[in-house]
Amino acid sequence: MSAATRPAPAVPAVPAGLAPPPEGRISPRAGLRHIGALVRRNVLQIRQDPESMFDVLLMPVVFTLLFVYVFGGAISGKGNQQEYVNYLVPGLMAMMGMNIAMAVGTGINDDFRKGVMDRFRTLPIARSSVLVAKIVVEAGRMLIAIAILLAVGFALGLQIGTSVLGLLGAVGLSLLFGTSLMWIFMLLGLTMKTAQSVQGMAMLVLMPLQFGSSIFTPTESMPGWLEAFTDVNPLSNLADAARNLINGGPVAGPVGMTLAWAAAITLVTAPLAISRFRRKT
């Protein structure tokens, strides 16, 4: 009588591109391959849940139409919405990045709650590759949102006062700064207990930065204390840089400040987020 054989334990499925490396240490080439595989996973997840793209597709349209037709006449005078479009759209490019960055924090918090990160823990991959893959996918979503924003802006009469290179520079600068903000919200997502708490904390940060800036209105009419805040607000620097790159004006100061803010935010929060992720997984 032959002894009954015990079934082999189930082995977690390994996504394509995440096969174990031959050595214990993960090489940069293997790390890039892992990031690519995780990017494909995140893109397929969006494909299976197209509703997750509603914020990217609708937010630029809603905000542009709302502010142009509701506030444009009051700010620029009745019949001068055209002038306000050229002021508002570059500013909204800064706002798009911050709102989409907030989704990174809630998304990674939700992944921990659903147990997705438990599966990643069993894979021989660099912990940072999970976070970098999220950054890459969200940067793509941000680029789509900015493209829709510009399309709506051109439909409403947006004009380029400089050149196409200036427009591309504004897009690239907005994308770079928005990517740096993702590390902040990712750190919040790894620290807070629930996605609701992440969203609540993010709104406390978003509202003062967005409305206490030059995104929607010139700052000259603000009280002195608030105008002083807008001068150091990174969103004001980004909005002014994008506005001058598209409409014309001095760019060295606001562009330099935006790049400095992006570098400082990334250098401080990226290592903290990666360290927190490693401890949590």
- What DSSP letter does each residue of 173-199 carry, written as one string? HHHHHHHHHHHHHHHHHHHSSSHHHHH
How far is residue 86's CA from residue 103's CA, in Å, rounded to a whole number? 28
Q: Looking at the whole model, is its pTM more than 0.75?
A: yes
| pLDDT reading at 8 higher than 80 | no
pLDDT band at 5 (very low <50, low <70, confident <90, very high): very low
| pLDDT reading at 20 higher than 50 | no
User: What value does the mean pLDDT take over residues 183-198?
Assistant: 87
User: For residue 10, what pLDDT is reported?
Assistant: 45
